[in-house]
Structure 1
């Protein structure tokens, strides 16, 4: 009488070791179709091959045993996909963070590959449509997205003479929480919801353009800050960002351009021939 596939045969068909199959059995993830009561030999069926391979893939992705069991026990395909999808999204986020760290590390290990083009610039007073808030550092990206969506909704149909920008207080970086302001230049800023007119004061800035994705923008920040300190120009004040080209303009990260402005002190205004 045919009892099924031996554990060795099942191991060959699934490309899983006998030791791994025994571990799956002991943890309750994949029980053999039958176990000989006299010899203790495990027997499997061909129908169990897909389940074994699914378990293997999930474990390769570091899905906890309890969650693997839950996914396998779920009969609804949509619910099963949602459970697995949550882990896949987590892994994609971790992969994105890893890629960002690799990009930053490569730039840090080649600090002299490109010259930092710093411009000293005087910025005049201007009135903008803005959203302000006190935000935790870890929540800045989500807050920024919501604030910019509010600005877009409030400014529909109005001419926008320049790119959006932001102001980020020092405390946001030093203490993990601080004032954040994002804005759109507009001739007659409305007051609607959190959107209101704000007068941005004049400032003297050391400006550099960060090209490409934001994964390693902290490296550009560091290089600009070091330049400012080296030239003894640093003063207290929020960091300025201007989003010349960003995710809202193009999905291609290579095309993004973010202008970073560091507050500085200058004894004399720039000459008429160009920046100081």
Structure 2
């Protein structure tokens, strides 16, 4: 091989913007292999047309894409890489939106206090029979699941037809974000003395919810969209703990008024958390620990 047509690792480092240490690491990990390695000195040489690939690697790593993912993307062709970059950009923009909302929420709490931005009330939730479509998922699949779930629920309800006794709502059994999965239930309450659903598809069931006391707050318009709605969950959770109540079940997101467009000004959503009186003290050493606040969803 004519080494005159190759760049030694030092010059290649300057041309690509990758350090010599990084180039050795990418060689070892199979991301960027040198065109020639001197069998005696072990010195690495690269082709000139590898500079563009190295620059792409540098840019991808600046986006915090893992080395193994970089290797996979570069081996999948330009179309696959372009699609991955667009998806990464959407994720980054969403993360920035969440961070912006969190910062504004914290600033609002510092200047106004949570009670000023979210008025929390207590109401009695009646016992309900509900048609449920459930799935375990993370936040990335939440919107698509809810849209599909309610299409299925209303299709089944229409065959009855069922008589609805209240607005649709969602129950979150844990944290639902990009890193965590939880059980999410799309719910339709219906009259137990009327028509009943039949021939339920897989994943759809009927549940009986007991009556319960709910701590609630309502949000409208843009405040009802993710991530702004996170402040409502926080306000209710803070009110519950601050007033000495115990968390008594999954939090509910109730569609009081819903247009189908997440940030529509006419939307009105209620965050309702089941609560109970704290357990009374037992004999010394036998007191049950107070239940911890369940993780709140993020979407």
Give yes or no for TM over 0.5: yes
Does the aligned pair in 2 maintain the 1:4–1:43 contact within 8 Å?
no
Partners of 1:243 and 1:101 in 2: CA distance:
25
What 5-or-longer segments of structure 2 have no aligned partner? 176-180, 277-299
Alignment of 1:159-198 (within 5 A): 163-167=167-171, 182-183=187-188, 188=195, 190-193=197-200
CA deviations 1:213-266 (Å, max 9, x no partner) are 3336454233224435655677856644312356x801548875420234579x
TM (norm. structure 2) is 0.56
Does the aligned pair in 1 maintain the 2:172–2:184 contact within 8 Å?
yes
Q: CA deviation at 1:151?
A: 0.3
Matched with 2:155 is 153
Matched with 2:284 is none
Q: How many pairs align?
A: 255
Q: CA deviation at 1:130?
A: 1.2
TM (norm. structure 1) is 0.59
RMSD across aligned positions (CA): 5.2
Matched with 1:207 is 216
Alignment of 1:1-276 (within 5 A): 3-4=4-5, 6-7=7-8, 9-25=11-27, 27-34=29-36, 43-72=45-74, 74=75, 77=77, 81=80, 85=84, 96=94, 99-100=97-98, 103-104=101-102, 106-111=104-109, 112=112, 114-121=116-123, 130-131=131-132, 141=142, 145=146, 147-155=149-157, 163-167=167-171, 182-183=187-188, 188=195, 190-193=197-200, 205-210=214-219, 211-215=223-227, 217-228=229-240, 236=248, 239-244=251-256, 249-252=260-263, 257-263=268-274
Query: What SS does structure 2 have at the residue aligned with 1:3?
Result: helix
Does the aligned pair in 2 maintain the 1:212–1:255 contact within 8 Å?
no
CA deviations 1:174-216 (Å, max 9, x no partner) are xx98895611568855334065676766665443113233336
CA deviations 1:52-92 (Å, max 9, x no partner) are 223223333444444544544x4x638x828983x985886
